[in-house]
Amino acid sequence: MIPGPFLLYLGHSDDAVGIKTSRGVAAFRPDECVGEWRHDDCPLTLGLPRMDAAQGRAAGANTLILGIANAGGKMGDALIRDALSAIATGMHVASGLHQRLRDVPEIADAARQAGVQLFDVRDPPANLPVGNGKKRAGNRLLTVGTDCSVGKMYSTLALQRTMVARGITADFRATGQTGILIAGSGVPVDAVVADFISGAIETITPARSDDGWDLIEGQGSLFHPSFAGVSTGLLHGAQPRAIVMCHDPAREHMRGLPHYAVPGIAECIAANLSVARLTSPDVQAVGIALNTVKLPEDEARRLCAQTADAHGLPCTDPYRFGADPIIDWMQTCFDTSTSPMTVSA
């Protein structure tokens, strides 16, 4: 896989959501991150030592992770320049952008000459099948959201931590570039050819006959006009027994689209269950995950309690406060008391 340790790139970004790949790697693989590379006009930080390519290399970094995302995923001139300077120090480069490193001639040439590798983690695997919708065994949970970038990956990883801590077998199934960098495998579903969206998800979550769970990272939102097709195919391919609704209470409009309002949580749960039932008729919503990073703790806890009451579902910020309320409720829903969490069928 991608050789660590990593130098995480923030570049010129001033969009806190846009650096989510770098932030996610820092949060879930902290031991592998030597520093962050940001320019003077970048007001953001991951709390890591600030260093440029040469300093990062001197500190031991083997790979520069271009962990910034922008709609459409194009590479600008500044980013290309910085990638070239990392290559010049002998670092590999990994990217989660739509545009491939190997398709930028200067970068491809420089990497060849320097003998370093380029990792385009948004490359989908070859020979994906068309989805077949056949009922398959196993426990699967999918995180869904009112919008893009509201905490679906963080929530999924937090749910996994809590399950594993309770002795439940739980595997994280990555569907985006950050998740793939963290997990070491997965499918970048938004980069798959449209006909193969649900087939890609069926492939990474094959039937399982143990009592363990596949925890599948959701993408986009049924209510985002740019990306709802991806979310729809993900729901159908996942065949989830359970969904968790992720929401950012501070989001003022749909990401990137000031002309679109964020849907209500209840409306969004209903729409997701309706779409999911096509391939998983008994699907249940088992919890709500709020991203409360912008709220003080007491206010965040109060909002979680209010949201739980309003929707009759456990609600927590799983990354900040742990996922226990949701896992408790899942054990009530699915437990047969012969194992930590068994399929009741």
Residue 175 binds a second copy (CB under 8 A): no
Q: Do the Cβ atoms of 194 and 229 come closer than 8 Å? A: yes
Nearer to a second copy, 206 or 225 (CB): 225
Report residue 237 CA to chain centroid gap: 17
Stretch that binds a second copy, among 11-19, 38-46, 83-91, 224-232 (CB under 8 A): 224-232
| Pairing label, strands 63-66, 213-216 | unpaired
C-alpha–C-alpha distance, residues 327 and 329, integer Å = 5
- Are the C-beta atoms of 12 and 21 separated by less than 8 Å? no
Among the listed ranges 86-94, 221-229, 286-294, 335-343, the one in contact with a second copy (CB under 8 A) is: 221-229
Binding window for a second copy (CB under 8 A); candidates: 25-33, 56-64, 225-233, 292-300: 225-233
The reply on whether position 23 binds a second copy by CB under 8 A is no
191: contact with a second copy by CB under 8 A: yes
Instruction: Tell whether residue 129 is a contact of a second copy (CB under 8 A).
Output: yes
Instruction: Output the smallest distance, CB 5 to a second copy, in A.
Output: 30
Q: With binding defined as CB under 8 A, does residue 69 bind a second copy?
A: no
For the record, the structure tokens of 107 come out as: 């970068």
Q: Give the per-residue contact string, 90-109, with a second copy (x = CB under 8 A; - = no).
A: --------x-----------
| Alpha helices, H only, 90-171 | 105-114, 152-165
Smallest separation, CB 132 to a second copy (Å)? 7
In the chain, the largest separation of any two C-alpha atoms, in whole Å, equals 61
Nearest one of 203, 184, 205, 207 to 192, comparing CA atoms: 203
The window from 152-160, 233-241, 243-251, 292-300 that contacts a second copy (CB under 8 A) reads 233-241
Should residue 132 be labelled a site residue for a second copy when binding is judged by CB under 8 A?
Answer: yes
- Of 124 and 340, which has the nearer Cβ to a second copy? 124
Determine if 137 is a binding residue for a second copy (CB under 8 A).
Answer: no
43 vs 72, beta carbon nearer a second copy: 72
Q: Alpha-carbon distance 255 to 257, whole Å?
A: 6
When asked if residue 236 is in the footprint of a second copy (CB under 8 A), the reply is: yes
> C-alpha dihedral over 165, 320, 213, 151, to 10 degrees?
-160
Binds a second copy by CB under 8 A, chosen from 41, 105, 134, 281? 134
Q: At what angle do helices 324-334 and 152-165 cross, to 10 degrees?
A: 70
Instruction: Please state, in angstroms and rounded to a whole number, the distance separating the CA atoms of residues 323 and 161.
Output: 8
If the CB atoms of residues 104 and 323 are measured against a second copy, the closer one turns out to be 104
Smallest distance, a second copy to C-beta of residue 193, A: 6
Going from the C-alpha of 340 to that of each of 123, 141, 158, the distances in angstroms are: 37, 16, 18
**Distance between CA atoms of 213 and 48, rounded to whole angstroms?**
34
With vertex at residue 223, the alpha carbon angle to CA 218 and CA 229, rounded to the nearest 5 degrees, is 60
How far, in Å, CA of 320 to CA of 309, rounded?
20
Residue that the structure tokens 């190997």 belong to: 102
Rule CB under 8 A: say whether 167 interacts with a second copy.
no
Of 252-271, which residues contact a second copy (CB under 8 A)?
256-257, 259-260, 271
Q: Does 194 bind a second copy (CB under 8 A)?
A: yes
Contact 75, 88 (CB under 8 A): no
End-to-end CA gap in the chain? 38
Whole-number minimum distance, CB 74 to a second copy, in Å? 9
Q: Which stretch binds a second copy (CB under 8 A): 86-94, 110-118, 184-192, 318-326?
A: 184-192
Closest to a second copy by CB, 6 vs 223, is: 223
Residues that bind a second copy (CB under 8 A): 71-73, 98, 129-135, 189-195, 197-199, 222-223, 225-234, 236-237, 256-257, 259-260, 271, 274-275, 278-279
